[in-house]
Amino acid sequence: MDRKRNISMAVIKRLPKYHRYLAELLRNDVDRISSKELSEKIGFTASQIRQDLNCFGDFGQQGYGYNVRELYAQISQILGLSNDYKTAIIGAGNIGQAIANYNRFEKLGFNLEAIFDANPKLLGIRIRDIEIQDIDKLEEYLRSNSIDIGIICVPRVNAQKVCNILVNNGVRGIWNFAPVDLVAPEDVVIENVHLSESLLTLTYLLHEKDEEIEE
Amino acid sequence: MDRKRNISMAVIKRLPKYHRYLAELLRNDVDRISSKELSEKIGFTASQIRQDLNCFGDFGQQGYGYNVRELYAQISQILGLSNDYKTAIIGAGNIGQAIANYNRFEKLGFNLEAIFDANPKLLGIRIRDIEIQDIDKLEEYLRSNSIDIGIICVPRVNAQKVCNILVNNGVRGIWNFAPVDLVAPEDVVIENVHLSESLLTLTYLLHEKDEEIEE
């Protein structure tokens, strides 16, 4: 693929949204779509869409638009979804269990291989046929099993320690739900889901609107 | 407060992070901090920090730095956390239950008032002393109870319908976990947590690093 380098983070963050909308078009048996039609659905401008997709190669055809199936396949590939990923969840509390039970990720090629927790009460319980193991066995497990993505759902104070164990044993992708910014070497990718921060963004915007109304 | 208008979304998105770091400093009994020291912790440049905080008023003092407790209180107020918020969860599946069980939000002033689901098997079950109610009663409930934030955790296909019921009955804040972009009037604030999109950003970046290594 004639792929240009130095894609901006803003473009990268928009790609999964293209992927989601194209999946919906496929479900609705739409074969092709113009950047203008896609724009009306997705809410980005048509020129933004053309510019974004041009970063990755020469999709679309003047006067024809995009072939939905092809564009979906190519964006899937760009997103790395042509690979399968082995994942492990560390921390089987509320969020960890919710992620473990969420079957949508499997369809995208994410295979949950193991779950770890420190709470003795949880050990041995099975979530979708995967037994929760003692977190003390994480390191040993990683030495003999290759994991692509570690999903950190432990409390804030333990998150960096878990991250270190994962990284020192070859895990290169970290999906972090703990409300802390983890430190890792440059070749490790960390993606955070900071739920409290999302909620506080919501209250900020609500509060701002209230002030507008009061004025 | 001498608050400037038209704060950029980028600044707004950084505020909860300041809030989180200042909370940690308070826990560690730190009284004051310079923008330089804060920069080392939080990872933004010192000039970025001064610029961000200047958007909201005249914090900090040359040569003294920021009074941690005062800055925390002011950022809390800016984030709208001086108010309490009444929340309701719609959809008590994996994510809905995880959010309901997460007690961190309560400490920030978010009080969960009600939980709704369509699954008859879940009705009557209590999560932290709140009984799961039939989603058919949501509209009736909202007519006699004021809810500030509706937390949507229903499947994609039902999310817009739930959003409409919430909005038509006075809910002005929507925290949306369904993988869909909701449509609502301008005076409603929608904040999305799109977990799949976060995961696909991670795989994109992993895939990109693999390619760098292969070259």
How far does the CA of residue B10 sit from the closest CA of chain A (Å)?
Answer: 11
Name every chain B residue with its beta carbon within 8 A of the beta carbon of A18. Answer: none
Q: Which residue of B has its CA nearest to A85?
A: B203
Q: Are B195 and A193 in contact (CB under 8 A)?
A: yes
Distances in whole angstroms, Cα of residue B181 to Cα of each of B184, B198, B202: 10, 15, 21
Report the pLDDT averaged over residues B205-209.
Answer: 87
Q: State the pLDDT at residue B193.
A: 96
**Using CB atoms, which residue from B79, B187, B194 is nearest to A204?**
B79
How many CB atoms neighbour CB A140 within 10 A?
12
Distances in whole angstroms, Cα of residue A44 to Cα of each of A39, B98, B209: 5, 32, 28
DSSP A139: H
Give the angle A128-A132-A137 at the CA atoms, nearest 5°: 140
What is the CATH architecture of B9-78?
Orthogonal Bundle (1.10)
Give dist(CA A148, CA B206) in Å, integer: 9
At B15, list the tokens. 């505020």
Find the largest Cα–Cα distance for chain A. Answer: 63
Q: State the pLDDT at residue B12.
A: 87
Q: State the pLDDT at residue B215.
A: 57
Q: State the pLDDT at residue B7.
A: 78
Distances in whole angstroms, Cα of residue B19 to Cα of each of A181, B13, B53: 13, 11, 12
Instruction: Work out the mean pLDDT of chain A and round it to a whole number.
Output: 91
Enumerate the CATH 1.10.10.10 domain ranges in chain A, comma separated: 9-78
Mutate to test the interface with B, among A94, A108, A199 (most CBs of B within 10 A): A199
- Three-state SS annotation for B10-76: HHHHHHHHHHHHHHHHHHCCCCEECHHHHHHHHCCCHHHHHHHHHCCCCCCECCCEEEHHHHHHHHH
Report the pLDDT averaged over residues B48-56.
Answer: 85
Report the pLDDT averaged over residues B46-67.
Answer: 81
Give dist(CA A142, CA A144) in Å, integer: 5
Residue A172: pLDDT band with limits 50, 70, 90: very high
Q: State the pLDDT at residue A188.
A: 97
Report the pLDDT averaged over residues B157-186.
Answer: 97
Residue A2: pLDDT band with limits 50, 70, 90: very low
Say whether pLDDT at A201 is over 90: yes
φ, ψ dihedrals at B89, nearest 5°: -100, 130
CATH class assigned to B85-197: alpha beta
Q: Which of A204-208, B63-67, B75-79, B180-184 has the lowest mean pLDDT?
A: B63-67
Q: Nearest-CA neighbor of A193 among B205, B76, B201, B24?
A: B201
Enumerate the CATH 3.40.50.720 domain ranges in chain A, comma separated: 85-197
In B105-164, the residues whose Cβ lies within 8 Å of chain A are: 105, 108, 110, 148-149
User: What are the tens digits of pLDDT across the range B68-101?
Assistant: 999 999 999 989 898 899 999 999 999 999 999 9
Residue A209: pLDDT band with limits 50, 70, 90: confident
How many CB atoms neighbour CB B131 within 10 A?
11
Give dist(CA B161, CA B147) in Å, integer: 17
Residue B5: pLDDT band with limits 50, 70, 90: low
Q: State the pLDDT at residue A136.
A: 97
How far does the CA of residue B86 sit from the closest CA of chain A (Å)?
Answer: 12
Residue B56: pLDDT band with limits 50, 70, 90: confident
Distances in whole angstroms, Cα of residue A132 to Cα of each of A120, A126, B40: 10, 6, 37
Report the pLDDT averaged over residues B148-152.
Answer: 98
Give dist(CA B186, CA A110) in Å, integer: 37
How far does the CA of residue A144 sit from the closest CA of chain B (Å)?
Answer: 21
Residues A175-212 as b/e (b if ≥16 CB within 10 A, e otherwise) read bbbbbbbbebeeebbbbbbbbbbbbbbbbbbbbbbeee
Report the pLDDT averaged over residues B160-176.
Answer: 98
Q: State the pLDDT at residue A214.
A: 65
Q: So what's the ipTM on this one?
A: 0.88
Q: Are B106 and A106 in contact (CB under 8 A)?
A: no
Name every chain A residue with its beta carbon within 8 A of the beta carbon of B172. Answer: 206, 209
User: What are the tens digits of pLDDT across the range A88-126?
Assistant: 999 999 999 999 998 888 888 999 999 999 999 999 999
Say whether pLDDT at B67 is over 70: yes
Q: State the pLDDT at residue B202.
A: 95
Give dist(CA B128, CA A188) in Å, integer: 38
